[in-house]
């Protein structure tokens, strides 16, 4: 075969085995996000978001060329590097005044522009990657005292870094949720899982009394008392609910939302962008977003099930699905006064370059594992696996 024929064959094989469903749905979500940001955001935010989407797509495609299962043998190095990454906000973190946490690394360019990066976002993907490999390494030693001890340290140390160095409560809880889901899927005995949940539940009163600051308690109190601090902590969710109700079924129309367009809703292009969708495109718009994001979650779970014989690949996909599930439904819960405001964006939809790129990287990890799992299966079984 000529070199040209080999290249064409390689390209055909690449497109055959690469998961373009995930990429297509992600791009559709990003497109909706751009429409919403163009309605309530600035020209600069549109440019930043567009660049982030392009970088994210390139990262997705780039990752699919590598067999990340083989690279997972360096998981200990990746774990240490992730801790260094999560340590950066302690040294260079900014954003406390605007966001209430210290999770942003901002670099002022000579041109006057500012570039921001949120280490905790990318850290979640590395966290999933290293945890999945650790589960696989432990194998039959998983449910021993030593195995559970080291796995617990692995799971909780990054959470502690996020909590104390970035001061990002929502992100820390996201890490814990991911670990909890991976714990069930990874084969830890149910009695140990139940004991962990019981300990966490028992710790809640202690956290409430001795750990949480008043502003953190306020975020929970307002969920049960709509009249609590209506001019401060309760304002965001009062306005978010008003925007959702205003849209009805079909919405008020693009750029016509009276609450979002006149700046009555804070953070309308970031944390509360779902409210913009509901006000301007109604129930139909909100459900379209949820359907697309749910399709991504279901696709990750299906991919995990198909690779169930490879524990590393299975747990990576389950962890990514857990990340999307937590972030999607917590963000929507914030908008509907069903969850406290913790500053987590809506995947692919909210403005935020780091978040967008990280979401594409996460899906690129799933696509890479799927395509190379298929290749290994063909090599091992003579092409007997249905792709």
Residue 218 lies in a domain: yes
What pLDDT is recorded for position 95?
63
Q: Which domain holds residue 333?
A: 19-379
Cβ within 8 Å of residue 128, ≥6 positions away: 178, 182, 315, 316, 319, 320, 323, 362, 365
10 Å CB burial of residue 46 (0-12, 13-18, 19+) is middle
What pLDDT is recorded for position 378?
56
Residue 132 lies in a domain: yes
Task: Give the pair of three-digit tokens for residue 259.
Answer: 């609450």
Rounded to the nearest integer, the mean pLDDT of the chain is 87
What pLDDT is recorded for position 386?
41
- The residue that leads in pLDDT, 112 or 198, is 198
The counts of H helices and E strands in the chain are 16, 3
pLDDT mean over 356-385: 77
pLDDT mean over 351-380: 85
What pLDDT is recorded for position 112?
60
Read off the pLDDT of residues 173-212 as tens digits, 9 standing for 90 and up: 999 999 999 999 998 998 998 888 888 888 888 888 877 8
Residue 10 lies in a domain: no
Residue 34 lies in a domain: yes
Task: Give the pair of three-digit tokens for residue 260.
Answer: 């979002």
Residue 3 lies in a domain: no
What pLDDT is recorded for position 6?
57
* Cα separation values, 349 from 247, 272, 321, 360, Å: 18, 10, 17, 12
Q: What is the pTM of this model?
A: 0.91
What pLDDT is recorded for position 267?
85
Read off the pLDDT of residues 279-314 as tens digits, 9 standing for 90 and up: 999 999 999 999 999 999 999 999 999 998 889 999
Cβ within 8 Å of residue 131, ≥6 positions away: 151, 154, 155, 178, 179, 182, 315, 319
In 109-210 the beta strands, taken as DSSP E runs, fall at: 114-117
Share of the chain above pLDDT 90, in %: 50
Residue 5 lies in a domain: no
pLDDT mean over 211-227: 84
Residue 1 lies in a domain: no
Read off the pLDDT of residues 10-69 as tens digits, 9 standing for 90 and up: 566 666 667 789 999 999 999 999 999 999 888 888 999 999 999 999 999 999 888 888
Dist. CA 247–CA 256, nearest whole Å? 10
* pLDDT at residue 367 is higher than 50: yes
pLDDT mean over 235-250: 88
- Of 53-62, 103-112, 252-261, 306-315, give the lowest mean pLDDT range: 103-112
Residue 78 lies in a domain: yes
10 Å CB burial of residue 383 (0-12, 13-18, 19+) is exposed
What pLDDT is recorded for position 384?
43
Dist. CA 22–CA 20, nearest whole Å? 5
- The residue that leads in pLDDT, 100 or 236, is 236
Dist. CA 161–CA 153, nearest whole Å? 12
Domain count, the chain: 1
């Amino acid at each position: 075969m000529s070199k040209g024929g080999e290249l064409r064959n390689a390209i055909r094989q690449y497109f055959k085995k690469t998961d373009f469903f995930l990429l297509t749905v992600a791009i559709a979500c990003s497109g909706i996000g751009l429409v919403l940001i163009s309605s309530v955001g600035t020209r600069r935010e549109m440019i930043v978001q567009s660049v982030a989407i392009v970088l994210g797509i390139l990262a997705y495609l780039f990752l699919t060329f590598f067999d990340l299962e083989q690279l997972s043998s360096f998981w200990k190095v990746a774990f240490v590097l992730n801790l260094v990454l999560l340590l950066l906000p302690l040294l260079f973190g900014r954003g406390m005044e605007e966001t209430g946490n210290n999770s942003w690394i901002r670099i002022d360019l000579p041109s006057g522009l500012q570039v921001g990066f949120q280490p905790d976002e990318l850290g979640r993907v590395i966290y999933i990657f290293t945890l999945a490999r650790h589960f696989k390494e432990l194998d039959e030693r998983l449910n021993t005292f030593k195995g559970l001890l080291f796995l617990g340290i692995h799971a909780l140390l990054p959470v502690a870094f996020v909590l104390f160095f970035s001061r990002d409560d929502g992100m820390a809880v996201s890490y814990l949720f991911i670990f909890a889901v991976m714990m069930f899927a990874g084969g830890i005995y149910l009695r140990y899982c139940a004991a962990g949940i019981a300990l966490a539940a028992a710790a809640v009163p202690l956290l409430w009394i001795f750990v949480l600051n008043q502003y953190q308690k306020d975020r929970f109190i307002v969920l049960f008392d709509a009249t609590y601090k209506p001019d401060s902590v309760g304002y965001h969710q009062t306005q978010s609910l008003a925007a959702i109700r205003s849209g009805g079924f079909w919405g008020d129309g693009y750029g016509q939302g009276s609450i979002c367009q006149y700046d009555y809703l804070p953070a309308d292009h970031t944390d509360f962008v779902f409210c913009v969708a509901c006000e301007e495109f109604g129930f139909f718009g909100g459900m379209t977003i949820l359907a697309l994001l749910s399709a991504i979650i279901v696709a990750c779970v299906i991919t995990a099930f198909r690779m169930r014989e490879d524990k590393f690949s299975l747990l990576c996909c389950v962890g990514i699905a857990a990340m999307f599930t937590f972030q999607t439904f917590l963000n929507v819960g914030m908008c509907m006064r069903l969850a406290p405001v913790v500053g987590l964006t809506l995947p692919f939809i909210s403005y935020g370059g780091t978040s967008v790129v990280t979401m594409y990287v996460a899906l690129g990890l799933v696509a890479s594992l799927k395509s190379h799992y298929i290749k290994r299966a063909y090599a091992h079984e003579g092409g007997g696996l249905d792709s």
